[in-house]
Amino acid sequence: MTISDSVFPMDNVASCIQLPPEEENRIVSELIKESELNLKEGNLYYVISNRWFSRWQSYAGPCVGMLSIDKQSSDGQHANMTCTKLADRPGPIDNSDIISKGNNCDSNNLDIHRMLEEGTDYVLVPEKAWERLLEWYKGGPALPRKLISQGLGHKQYSVEVYPLSLKVTDARDNSHSIVKLSKKATIGELHQLVCKIKGVDQNKACIWDYFNLNKHSLLTVSDQTLEDANLMMDQDILLEVSLDKDRSSHSGMDSMGNELALVPLEPPRSSVSIAGGPTMSNGHSTGSSFNLYQGSSVSSSLTNMDDKYDVYRGERGGLAGLQNLGNTCFMNSSIQCLVHTPSLVEYFLQDYSDEINMDNPLGMRGELALAFGDLLRKLWSSGRTAIAPRLFKSKLARFAPQFSGYNQHDSQELLAFLLDGLHEDLNRVKQKPYIEMKDSDGRPDEEVASECWKNHMARNDSLIVDVCQGQYKSTLVCPVCGKISITFDPFMYLSLPLPSTVTRTMTVTVFYCDGSGLPMPYTVTVLKHGCCRDLCQTLGTACCLKSDEMLLLAEVYEHKIYRYLENPLESLNSIKDDEHIVAYRIKSGARKTKLEIMHRWLDNMKGGERKLFGTPLVTYLVEDPQFGANIEATVHKMLAPLRRAYSSTKSHDGKENGFISAGSDGQSNISNTQSESQSLTIGSNEQEGTSCGDSSIQLVLTNESFLSCELIEKASFIKPSQLIRVFLDWTDKEHELYDTSYLRDLPEVHKTGFTVKKTRQEAISLFSCLEAFLTEEPLGPDDMWYCPRCKEHRQATKKLDLWKLPEILVFHLKRFSYSRYLKNKLDTFVNFPIHNLDLTKYVKSKDGQSYVYDLYAISNHYGGLGGGHYTAYCKLIDDNKWCHFDDSHVTPVTEAEIKSSAAYVLFYQRVRSKSQMEGETSQVHTV
């Protein structure tokens, strides 16, 4: 989009004219849209404090395309200032709250605090939008950042909010300084900048990768980027200045004998590198020679030790930690779980070079598999020396830009990407055939499942498929035509919801439509994404609904029926926690006329104005009411349970705010009151036999808009209609006869901390999480299924069943929930078996496999969102001992210590065959 010059006021008057807020919003929104259509590397964006920007949005209105959450909003629901009242015009742009106080850079490259979150702490606006905001508001300071492209194949653009910061150590005087430049800058540009700061001739300067204060590789002037050179945030580099121009002495080993050059696994121009044999602590040989792979054009980063048993010389392997490179604990946790997976260890300690797929467009040209294999061998050959996974992180960032930088990420998301990436890099299928999927069409499940797995293996065949992939059955049912679609899909892990994340408690007040009982609130638990049919079924069980009865759901708002929830497939998401829902018990079968009875009282303080109160009563009339007397008789019948038992001033006992109080016998009170009301029905016949005027009960017929009011006399003719609405006008006499408190104080659907009766929370087991995962549920409104029979998208019901399970079974406990305005973590303790997890009853196929598993690794998450920490518990291979891997720290733990509410991802391994299981006398864990 090109914005014409007429959009903006003239420059010479811009600072003098204050634009209307909606005009400011329009200009900025259009400039943001324009920038999105013209993305290219090097474009400038400016960082603005969200504290100021949210104030501007509160004044000018929400800006299209900008995520900005107002921290001062109490519940997050009013983010982006969607309220109708606009705030005052903000003052000058103020970025002081996000600028780091320890800035030692020039004013054009100011630091901002680390670990800030876009949309919460700051926003990014394109250069032209910044110029307009600065013109209108002044202030600052300016915080320009460049747009860079990341990833191979599919480029992803991102703003480099935190440029690479490097600590320069000058070998001449051991002085230190900081340089900042883009990770996309070249080593040549780094040389130029360092020499300029130090006033050194570039021809006499050498710069070393000085990670962990050890010389690693000489950073020779080239077009290689700092990212490709594996330079990390805040790491050290060493500047050496020679007295002559002969720099040959700086190659090879330095004068102190430090090992040099971490050889890249796959230099840009090479075809392949060695993928087999263990390495030593720094990833290169402690001997004097490197092995050269036959047929390869590059030297290996591995040693010439071919015997895998060399790993166990001296201190056993698998006890090394991983250094934290800056909020990389999420990565370290997942890696430790994988490198303690027996089948992966066995595979990557062998020569797997023949299985690397260099041509797979979905893969990483083998680089990810090589980097992971190299890291695994280091961890299994370094004793207890912690490894810095720099090369692996660098490769990871190239292919998954979402994991670049130094913000905290999710260990399960990394695990999912890594397993998928390893699979594609090691896929034995070089040319994937096109396969058209067939519908099940009523064929036996065994036949369809075998066909689907065969088709899957024709395109996907790797170590990861061999040991980590299972298959589940997915059944979709169309709610309209009943079409059933069955598919069998592969999975690499199971993401299990915690029951509290898939269910909700709802309080609904049930009313009798035949006047046989008092209204009573019930609190039930239903699926969050269920439908009204599920609520009615659960509620019917709770209130002992009879076989010839059904429930009519309705929402009450301002003492009127706001809507009826008559569609059984309507999603429960349409019912909010602060709404008031009632259910009317009605007889099943033919229903002709619906009667709504609303209650009014006379407000003498406001000149005799009549006001609505209480909850409407609803019933069905079997026959058309010909006269007002029929309506009157029905109203008296509905009011009968509310008749006071003893005196006009005594209210019912043991009831507060519509609930039976905890201190009273609720059931006893209910039954007594009901029996009393039934015994009083005879007495009420006297009222029923009198006219409205004689009994002082006044009924008024109204219409849909409640504007028309017509007094109902006993002989009044009632026009036939599907819905009749009447007002019942209450006087002091009716208040003396009936207890209206049952009609008042209607409870909300859900109120935090307020329940009918507090019950002890049941313990959550891994089995209950699995059953929640396998429970049938309707698809969400945003996940509709296209029914091939209806030729339309339908909100189908979906049911998952486990069909076959892999050797390595990974469970992901879904502790995190995200929405635009809310992030939440559940610290609920999930009880999971360590030994003998028996899943046989959940697997539908009968293939003779054992489905009993033992736990061998856990990825843990401690703390809240953003500022949390990941660790891992891993069981040592061929040993019955557990260790706690907390980045570089590795400590032994007992089996009793590994269960905690921090457990996030669980790793299980199949442990015995069916024949062994049948002969086993030990107890197994079942539900």
The residues annotated with a catalytic role in the active site are 329, 869
Whether residue 615 contacts residue 519, with contact meaning beta carbons closer than 8 Å, is answered with yes
- Spatial separation of the C-alpha atoms in residues 479 and 485, rounded to whole Å: 12
Using DSSP, state whether 472 is helix, strand or coil. Answer: strand
All residues at 6 or more sequence positions from 282 whose CB lies less than 8 Å from its CB, including other chains? 259, 262
- Spatial separation of the C-alpha atoms in residues 94 and 535, rounded to whole Å: 51
Using DSSP, state whether 431 is helix, strand or coil. Answer: coil
- Spatial separation of the C-alpha atoms in residues 70 and 81, rounded to whole Å: 8
- In the block, tokens 């299972």 appear at 470
* DSSP E strand boundaries for 567-720: 581-587, 593-603, 609-621, 655-656, 659-660, 698-702, 709-712
Using DSSP, state whether 145 is helix, strand or coil. Answer: strand
Q: Among 256, 446, 453, 464, which residue's Cα sits nearest to residue 355?
A: 464
Q: Among 737, 751, 819, which residue's Cα sits nearest to residue 782?
A: 819
At 915, phi and psi to the nearest 5?
-65, -40
| Beta-carbon count within 10 A of 297 CB | 12
* DSSP E strand boundaries for 160-279: 164-170, 175-181, 205-209, 236-241
Sheet holding 144-150, edge to edge: 122-126, 44-49, 144-150, 156-159
- Spatial separation of the C-alpha atoms in residues 160 and 736, rounded to whole Å: 74
Q: Among 31, 4, 62, 21, which residue's Cα sits nearest to residue 126?
A: 31
| Beta-carbon count within 10 A of 844 CB | 14
Burial bucket for residue 139 (CB in 10 Å: 0-12, 13-18, 19+): middle
Burial bucket for residue 595 (CB in 10 Å: 0-12, 13-18, 19+): buried
